[in-house]
Structure 1
């Protein structure tokens, strides 16, 4: 039985993975912000007979303090973590800040995904085939750009601009983690499932919301179509310290989006924003 920690684990792709992993006999720590979604997943686990293998944690992952507390709890409870799946994300049409003064998309999509793999490095390194699976951009996103002089987009915010910066940043997070922890045995997998119907229309205003719903209905993949290859990567991660896929197709890591020096630069900047333990 493997222990898998999933952020965004109570909705969308994260919840789909949690259900399948529980059905396969594994232990799941599902982390989400919605008590209702967490209760629904727990109720499913009861019906499935796997409630003893599901731990739900309601945590605001946009908070550095709450994320640090969560990681400490996981380290104390689980000697080994076999896989960390990073799914949590939220589209914000307008700019807002967390209680710690961080732009919300940057806090959840970038800082959290930087922080958790670092804080859970020890229990991950004890596993036989540890893997970090990050659902993100994996190259080729022309709109994605790191705004080094304004990472939190105080001067020119846009929901798409913030999300695309996060996608580019997450590719770099994988590069930096693999470079810094090359001898740890932890595989880092970047994966872009492309257009998936996960309720992503809800944050938009009308009429955009209706248009996005229609496009999702016509063109988006269903969650149950996306989870099988992800489950395969969790069960048998690639041998390389870093790999990237776009809907199952390998991505060339020689692309400029995966530049090692840029990745390490981002690591240094992010490390300066969080407690020393994660640097």
Structure 2
């Protein structure tokens, strides 16, 4: 049976390995990426393997909400169902940057886009027999959520932004399952460990030197793929699950508190509603009233 796999960050690293794996298995694969050249190279490879009809590339910058929304609409207009949504896209920034929408870049790219894609494609996932969302974001991390400054306007650090983003994605998974009792969709949070990929991002020379050291000792992509393929082929029975590589961890511990997940979900829906009505500015904390969400202090 032909299945449809949607993969963000699918032109490089783990995302590309997943895309290639399922394309070679004869499945329909939709890759989303910001680099048009890499996207065309992936399509060229598909054509050479005789799989051009099943390979699709959507050029999008997922730090931009308009681009993310356009991805959702394009998939909805061309796909009857989505069997797997794999969220891999990540981009590190040593220095803080604000998108044209007024959001901190890591918050927008690493969290907001995954929220919009998860919820925006939920009904297409429900149309599949055994649908799964695989969110590769590092569950179980020790990052602290700065509730009063989610976009780190006051004390930005690139690693801190990524670690907080991992925590926000944990809560995204909790809230997704909480909002859909009885859903067929299995939400899987995965920390693949340190993998030797391109480490997409903007780095200072000293940080890049540390990344080069990490890359040399990191596991190769083909090793990281083993538990990923296993989870995609046979999603867990529970609506929400979390793994560090192939080791399950409880999605009910302190880092997965339902109260925090609901708080974040409410804040995010309000933030997106304000953006859609054109009132969003650079956001500060989740503890503000709706009229102040998106307004810098």
Quick check: 1:18–1:30 contact (8 Å CA) kept in 2?
A: yes
Misfit runs of 4+, over 6 Å? none
Quick check: 2:91–2:201 contact (8 Å CA) kept in 1?
A: no
**TM value normalised by structure 1:** 0.95
Closer/same/farther in 2, CA of residues 88 and 201 from structure 1, 3 Å limit: closer
Provide the rounded CA distance (Å) in 1 between the counterparts of 2:206 and 2:112: 32
- What is the aligned partner in structure 2 of residue 251 from structure 1? 249
- What is the aligned partner in structure 2 of residue 174 from structure 1? 173
Q: CA-atom RMSD, angstroms?
A: 1.4
Question: Which 5+ residue runs of structure 1 have no aligned equivalent?
Answer: none
SS at 1:273 equivalent: helix
Closer/same/farther in 2, CA of residues 73 and 11 from structure 1, 3 Å limit: same
**TM value normalised by structure 2:** 0.89
Provide the rounded CA distance (Å) in 2 between the counterparts of 1:95 and 1:104: 7
TM-superposition CA deviations, 1:217-240 (whole Å, max 9, x none): 1x2011111112211211110110
Instruction: Please report how far the alpha carbon of residue 51 of structure 1 lies from its aligned counterpart in structure 2 after TM superposition.
Output: 1.3
Quick check: 1:4–1:82 contact (8 Å CA) kept in 2?
A: yes
Map 1:234-249; keep pairs closer than 5 Å. 234-249=232-247
Provide the rounded CA distance (Å) in 2 between the counterparts of 1:128 and 1:76: 20
Quick check: 2:174–2:240 contact (8 Å CA) kept in 1?
A: yes
- What is the aligned partner in structure 1 of residue 188 from structure 2? 189
Question: Which 5+ residue runs of structure 2 have no aligned equivalent?
Answer: 277-297
Aligned residues: 274
Closer/same/farther in 2, CA of residues 7 and 100 from structure 1, 3 Å limit: same
- What is the aligned partner in structure 1 of residue 14 from structure 2? 13
Provide the rounded CA distance (Å) in 2 between the counterparts of 1:19 and 1:2: 14
SS at 1:272 equivalent: helix
Instruction: Please report how far the alpha carbon of residue 114 of structure 1 lies from its aligned counterpart in structure 2 after TM superposition.
Output: 0.9
